[in-house]
Amino acid sequence: MLAAALDEDVGGAATRAAGVIASADFSKLVDALRGRGYTVIGPTVRHGAIVYAEVTHEHDLPVGWTDHQEPGIYRLQADGAATRFAYAVGPTTWKRYLYPPVRRLWRAERHGDSFDLIADSRPVPKYAFLGVRPCDLHALAILDKIYLAGLAADPEYAARRENALIIAVQCTAPAATCFCAS
């Protein structure tokens, strides 16, 4: 249902059938996702690197930027064109949105000489991950094996993963530091 609704917002059923969103319709995708309550997370340029952060408009994306990576080297550089997603996987990962390194599990309320422990009841965020690479999809599958079942199963991870929408892209610029074969 979401895909059909997004198709209507970003150019019709032909866009969905082709699996491609026209450049002119890209901002409509971001707006449609945000309109459906998603926090859009995608590549952005921050502090001289392409990192994953909130995207509120298509101009937040690193359009026209690429990176050069070798062992011990990371350089951000203009690519001379208005390309999108023309970079290798950067220094951040999607994991921090699904399994945050810091999270509040409970809080305490003091009542005189005693206190109550209150479980955290904040709503689970609803993320749309924009620009997920094939290697990222494999990494997410490994996280799913760990945190969705077995001894390390985590209900918060499961809830965040259930709420996540993944919009994948092909990797067109693997780096010398990548482990992929794409």
Confidence (pLDDT) at 181: 56
Helix (H, G, I), strand (E, B) or coil at 82: coil
Helix (H, G, I), strand (E, B) or coil at 133: coil
Q: What is the pLDDT of residues 88-147, one digit of tens each?
A: 877 889 999 999 999 888 999 999 999 999 988 889 999 999 999 888 999 999 999 999
Domain chopping of the chain, boundaries: 37-168
| Single-letter amino acid code for the residue at 127 | Y
Q: How far apart are CA 78 and CA 166, in angstroms?
A: 27
Q: What is the pLDDT of residues 35-66, one digit of tens each?
A: 999 999 999 999 889 899 999 998 899 988 88
pLDDT for residue 17 is more than 50: no
Which of 60, 92, 86, 91 has its CA nearest to residue 74?
A: 91
Q: How far apart are CA 153 and CA 170, in angstroms?
A: 30
Q: 3: exposed, middle or buried (C-beta count within 10 Å: 0-12, 13-18, 19+)? A: exposed
Query: Which H or E run contains 160?
Result: helix 155-163
pLDDT for residue 80 is more than 90: no
pLDDT for residue 157 is more than 90: yes
pTM of the model: 0.81
Q: E-strand spans in 6-142?
A: 39-46, 49-54, 65-70, 73-78, 106-111, 114-119, 127-132
CA distances in angstroms from 64 to 85, 97, 107, 163, listed in the order given = 9, 26, 45, 31
